[in-house]
Amino acid sequence: MASSTAATMLKASPVKSDWVKGQSLLLRQPSSVSAIRSHVAPSSLTVRAASAYADELVKTAKTIASPGHGIMAMDESNATCGKRLASIGLENTEANRQAYRTLLVSAPGLGQYISGAILFEETLYQSTTDGKKMVDVLVEQNIVPGIKVDKGLVPLVGSNDESWCQGLDGLASRTAAYYEQGARFAKWRTVVSIPNGPSALAVKEAAWGLARYAAISQDSGLVPIVEPEILLDGEHGIDRTYEVAEKVWAEVFFYLAQNNVMFEGILLKPSMVTPGAEATDKATPEQFLSGGQSELEATLNLNAMNQAPNPWHVSFSYARALQNTCLKTWGGREENVKAAQDVLLARAKANSLAQLGKYTGEGESEEAKEGMFVKGYTY
């Protein structure tokens, strides 16, 4: 984490109310780095570029982390995408999933604000309704294609009703194939639950899994998004979230170093440090800096994080926070495609401005203010 290009930050950055507004804990380094060093001697933190793709990895990370840009996450599993479609009265068929994803990737001018798109495996190999490869449409928009590579959460035996993320078996061959198909970055989502502990076992499992995935992805030429998500579920306050987040991130970077992951070639995607979704004591954007937040909340929080200079690019990786109103506007109707794409572009532009610290919130719709938290959310 010593390099100014290392550990590109997407989606979140914690700020306690007594800290300088916009300054992030993890990127500030002292707390998290000292926590890592309590585990290992400084000499063992030397990280080498083990991948033959080292230069390309750094270039990809910098491209995704370009000013005024962020990531559109459209990697929901087919089952979860089906829930989205059901909300607008559509069946969960491949044709309907194809139509919706075509709408997203082909929105004219999307590349002005979006630099990367995370795809589900079906989408990576899928063509648009016009017969073009989804990957090619993204590249034409100067958007880097990415791919979700984990196999989902399953119960962690021996824990306090917690989960672990599966998918390491066969990952090397899959990431190599994804690279050949045009993907240039990867995503692996694991979660930590505050109401359930979190147990030391769950934290270690999450950190080790992320580290192994990151090393394997880099070896195949894919920039890994390292995503230790602290779930929103719970009644805890922001200080408890902050405490758990610091512990989890320290553990993650400890194992990343042990696995010789090149920090300059990763994207760090921690969840925002906020009070639990069911907490009575809420916080303002100036106190904390997405899943489950309204579109407006997510944008305001991102903007607050960028009101002061950050040592790394602090941006967004949003799914529902970009697509919620877009999906409703579309409603599965061909005649609504342009209107839905206009809504998507408006949300993307708002978050682009927020990444630059220039978002004002003027002219936002009521739909953008609707919360999207789902208790026990999985996808």
DSSP per residue, 74-141: E---HHHHHHHHHTTT----HHHHHHHHHHHHT-TTGGGTEEEEEE-HHHHT-B-TTS-BHHHHHHHT
- As a whole number of angstroms, the distance between CA 165 and CA 210 comes to 9
Asked if 217 contacts 262 with a C-beta cutoff of 8 angstroms, the reply is: no
| Residue ranges for the chain with pLDDT beneath 50 | 1-47, 49, 289-290, 368-369, 371-374, 377
State the catalytic residue, choosing from 121, 162, 205, 227.
227
Q: Is 282 exposed, middle or buried (0-12, 13-18, 19+ CB in 10 A)?
A: exposed
34: how many CB neighbours lie within 10 A of its CB? 10
pLDDT attached to residue 168? 98
pLDDT attached to residue 219? 97
The CA–CA distances, whole Å, from 117 to 1, 57, 72, 105, 201 equal: 25, 16, 5, 8, 32
State the catalytic residue, choosing from 11, 148, 187, 269.
269
Is 227 tagged catalytic?
yes
The pLDDT tens digits of the residues spanning 185-236 come to 999 999 999 999 899 999 999 999 999 999 999 999 999 999 999 988 888 8
Please tell me whether the peptide bond between 198 and the residue prior to it is cis, using omega within 30 degrees of 0: yes
- Give the CA-trace dihedral at 256, 66, 302, 192, to 10 degrees: -20
pLDDT attached to residue 197? 86
Helix 78-86 vs helix 94-105: crossing angle, to nearest 10? 80
The pLDDT tens digits of the residues spanning 241-280 come to 999 999 999 999 999 999 999 999 999 988 878 888 878 8
- As a whole number of angstroms, the distance between CA 189 and CA 73 comes to 12
pLDDT attached to residue 282? 75
Instruction: Find, among 161, 163, 214, 208, the residue nearest to 186 by Cα.
Output: 214
Asked if 115 contacts 88 with a C-beta cutoff of 8 angstroms, the reply is: no
- As a whole number of angstroms, the distance between CA 34 and CA 253 comes to 11
pLDDT attached to residue 284? 66
Is 269 tagged catalytic?
yes
pLDDT attached to residue 15? 36
314: how many CB neighbours lie within 10 A of its CB? 25
pLDDT attached to residue 352? 96
